[in-house]
Structure 1
Amino acid sequence: MSLKTFVKIGKIENLSDARYCAGMMVDILGFNLEEGTEGYLSPERFKEITDWVAGVSFCGEFAHAQAAEVKLAATQYPVEYIETQNIDQLEELTDLDQKLIFKLIIADTEDLTKLESSINYASEFAKFISIHLTSDSLKSEVEAILSKMDARPKLLRGYTLTHENAFEVASDTMYFGIELEGSPEDRPGFKDYGNVMDILEVLEED
């Protein structure tokens, strides 16, 4: 069994999500390692979850942490990838053993004007660039810019993903893969996988 496209699942907070997604053969599981933020996993909790899964790569996710905090966490957690939302950190983080993922959030027209240059710069340092939109209204403009780029690195689509469009998105050569997000459990062992399950089942290959 495999999936029709490359898949990263971010914001994994519980064993249920981790085991289900690993069982569905996703490529990367992402965990919030930024201390003091919602969904943060301590090294102990991270180990409790990841000891039960195999066959996937692990990613430490950071939104607002300073580079020094990211580097410290990279020594405390056995992860293969580090994801940052701060483009200015990318060059400094290249001395880590982990591969880098840049999470690029498009929120307004100013971000649109910098989209191509941001991607070109980030691609010098990051293995993947994950594109996220704060509003679906930006979708057509973002994709118009991407379609005109001469060279395109490995982009992950992290917006407007549903089970209705999952197959179409997986076939879109504009993107190398997709990124979805986990969700909290109702209580340990009781989980509604919702949109993640619906999409992965569409992408599942025999």
Structure 2
Amino acid sequence: MPLLLPVLVRGINNLSDARYCAGMGADGLIFTLDPSLPGAVDAATVKELAGWVAGVEIIGEFGGAMPVSEINRLVEECGLGRVLLRDSPQPVTGYSSLTVPVIMEIPQMVAYDGEYHRQAHKMFTSALPAGFELLTRALDSGPGASAGETYESMAGAAATTPLWLSGDFTPETLPALLTAVSPAGLVLQGGDEIKPGIRNFDELEALFEALEE
């Protein structure tokens, strides 16, 4: 079904999630392929699950410890269209030789503070393949901050570099967020099966329905 904007689902580790999210219109499924990260799956699992879905991009998620040569090998083995690089305490260097486009996850401070964002963008331009995009957690309008001020910060960052947002979205707040910020897309979170073949999709279903055109 057509959605208002691109949607990726992160943390895919079972067939129930893969088929459900693909059927609901997700543009991509993100598999954690770095064994040093929680919830990692192996290449065989990615290939098996990807074989059950069609029309969705397969994306691999990696931390800062895996060599670029190994990431590129997994890109080829698993047929990845992009990679998501998780925010890491290690410097972002050496990724320019990646063979597919990159979504780089960054902290909120880097995304929404103008000076930090400019410095980071300069660094990413030299360290990542051309056409990189960013991912960060959406800001909440907490005490002392209006929703308008919060959206303005996010919109400023999204206007500089394509910005994907993750977070605890709700169907009630999504319309205003999307209208005010115009992000590149949303990254939703997958989940575990209750037991093989059984999964509660209530939360994901509500979000997908709110995102229908």
Tell me the TM-score normalized by structure 2. Answer: 0.79
Tell me by how many angstroms 1:171 deviates. Answer: 2.6
Say if 2:92 is the partner of 1:84. no
Q: Which residue of structure 1 lines up, in the alignment, with residue 101 of structure 2? A: 99
Match of 1:153 among 161, 168, 171: 161
Q: Counterpart of 1:117 in 2: which secondary structure?
A: helix
Match of 1:127 among 123, 132, 135: 132
- Structure 1: tracts of 5 or more residues without a match: none
Tell me by how many angstroms 1:147 deviates. Answer: 4.1
1:173-184 maps to which residues of 2 (within 5 A)? 173-184=181-192
Cα-Cα RMSD? 3.1
Match of 1:203 among 196, 200, 211: 211
Tell me by how many angstroms 1:23 deviates. Answer: 0.8
* 167-176 vs 75-84, greater mean Cα deviation: 167-176
Tell me by how many angstroms 1:187 deviates. Answer: 0.8
CA distance in structure 1 between the partners assigned to 2:194 and 2:166 by the alignment: 24
Q: Which residue of structure 2 lines up, in the alignment, with residue 61 of structure 1? A: 61
Residues 53 and 115 from structure 1, CA distance in 2 versus in 1: closer, same or farther, beyond 3 angstroms? same
Tell me by how many angstroms 1:84 deviates. Answer: 0.6
Tell me by how many angstroms 1:142 deviates. Answer: 6.5
Say if 2:46 is the partner of 1:46. yes
Listed one character per residue, the Cα deviations across residues 45-90 of structure 1 (whole Å, up to 9, x for unaligned) are 111211000101111001343334433433332100011125744x
Q: Which residue of structure 1 lines up, in the alignment, with residue 18 of structure 2? A: 18
Residues 45 and 199 from structure 1, CA distance in 2 versus in 1: closer, same or farther, beyond 3 angstroms? same
Structure 2 residue identity aligned to 1:3 = L
Tell me by how many angstroms 1:148 deviates. Answer: 4.4
Asked if 2 retains the 8 angstrom alpha-carbon contact of 1:170 and 1:177, the reply is: no
Tell me by how many angstroms 1:121 deviates. Answer: 3.9
1:182-197 maps to which residues of 2 (within 5 A)? 182-197=190-205
Asked if 2 retains the 8 angstrom alpha-carbon contact of 1:105 and 1:133, the reply is: no
Say if 2:71 is the partner of 1:70. yes
Q: What is the aligned-residue identity percentage? A: 24
CA distance in structure 1 between the partners assigned to 2:59 and 2:191 by the alignment: 16
Tell me by how many angstroms 1:152 deviates. Answer: 1.5
Tell me by how many angstroms 1:37 deviates. Answer: 3.2
